[in-house]
Amino acid sequence: MDQYGRTVATCSVGGTDLGKWLVLSGLALDWPQYSKGRYAGVPREAERAGRGFWKGSYVEPWLYRACIRSSGKPSSCSDDANAPS
């Protein structure tokens, strides 16, 4: 359970971790707070391969929000220069 009472779980089908598959396919983001490192490196692999939303420019939501909280403007928080490498 997370701090809001929501269930946090790992789902699998036929031995395949669906969360890992989604992250590797560029269809979901790893949330390390809950995955506890289970998918370490997987998002970068999807990004390097240009899969899913990584085909274009992308900034993870938590990086965008951190930029805004530190007095950034939306245009400067979401441009390619701020995308993770």
The residues facing 13 across adjacent strands are 16
Element holding 24 (H helix, E strand): helix 18-24
Query: Does residue 81 have a pLDDT over 60?
Result: no
Pairwise CA distance, residues 84 & 54, whole Å:
11
What pLDDT sits at residue 82?
Answer: 47
Pairwise CA distance, residues 10 & 19, whole Å:
7
What pLDDT sits at residue 80?
Answer: 56
Pairwise CA distance, residues 23 & 26, whole Å:
5
Q: Could you report the per-residue pLDDT of 47-68, keeping only the tens digit for each? A: 999 999 888 877 878 888 898 8
Report the helix count and the strand count for the chain, using DSSP H and E: 5, 2
pTM of the prediction? 0.69
Give the pLDDT band (50/70/90) at residue 7.
very high
Q: Could you report the per-residue pLDDT of 13-45, keeping only the tens digit for each? A: 999 999 999 999 999 989 888 888 899 999 999
